Amino acid sequence: MNSADRQEFFETVAAMGLMHGCKLDAPELRLWFELFAQTWTLAEFREAAAYLLQTSRWMPKPAEFFELREGATPDPAKAWGTVIDHARGTWRQSRTCGDPIADSVVQTLGGWFALAMSTERDLAFRRREFVDTYRDFAERDQVVNALPDLRTNANGSARLGRPTSAGASTFSPTPGGERRRIAANRRATSGSDPTGDA
């Protein structure tokens, strides 16, 4: 949210309070705005407010909004069902099931072909592995998305293997390759020769 959303945000919170029989004063409204302004859009907040108004008997606390948002984390068991349906159906036409996290996990487990060719007995083991890996990937994505400054270097280029604007990854899987990339970045930024032969 930005300052242009402030008044509408105040009106939404004040209306929630009035519906629950309490009137929030200006300092309380400002505190609410400060809590949500950095990580929520106005549309997200209003959607959560509408849901909480339908399900809460008392004025929702900010913590309830954040808990609701965390509860929106994808369900690994549901994702497994989607993956199995896709593996038994259209995986040859489309290498994606519509869930980017599930697609990444499937690739980690050997790909769509390996999953589609698994026996029922193998699928029981793969399910456990899928659920655990899916949770790890979903948590990683939440952390990366919650801390956007960790996704880029000071110069704005991508880190941790994320694609750059040109589409190429800055991560090199080989230790020597990584050292060469770091040395090249140092040369480019300092203008000096890393061997010390300046």
* Separation between Cα atoms, residue 101 and residue 139, nearest integer Å: 10
Q: Report which residue type is found at 133.
A: T
With 80 as the cut, is the pLDDT of residue 197 above it?
no
Select the more confidently predicted residue: 146 or 124: 124
Question: Which tens digits make up the pLDDT trace of 51-96?
Answer: 888 888 888 888 888 877 776 667 788 889 889 888 888 777 888 8
Amino acid at site 52: L
Lowest mean pLDDT, pick from 55-59, 68-72, 128-132, 144-148 = 144-148
143 φ, ψ to 5°?
A: -65, -45
Q: Rounded to a whole number, what is the largest CA-CA distance in the chain? A: 75
Question: How far apart (Å, rounded) are the C-alpha atoms in residues 45 and 1?
Answer: 9
pTM beyond 0.75: no
Distance CA 20, CA 65 (A): 16
Residue 163's pLDDT band (boundaries 50, 70, 90)? very low
More confident position, 22 or 145: 22
The secondary structure of the chain in percent helix, strand, coil, rounded to multiples of 5, reads: 65, 0, 35
By three-state DSSP, how is residue 163 classified? strand
Q: Check whether 176 has a pLDDT greater than 70.
A: no
CA trace torsion 90, 95, 98, 104 (10° rounding): 140
Q: Whole-angstrom Cα distance, residue 132 to residue 150?
A: 24
* pLDDT value at residue 44: 87
Q: What share of the chain in percent tops pLDDT 70?
A: 69
What is d(CA 134, CA 122) in angstroms, rounded to the nearest whole number? 18
Mean pLDDT over each residue of the chain, to the nearest integer: 75
Domain extents in the chain? 3-70, 76-146
pLDDT at residue 198 is higher than 70: no
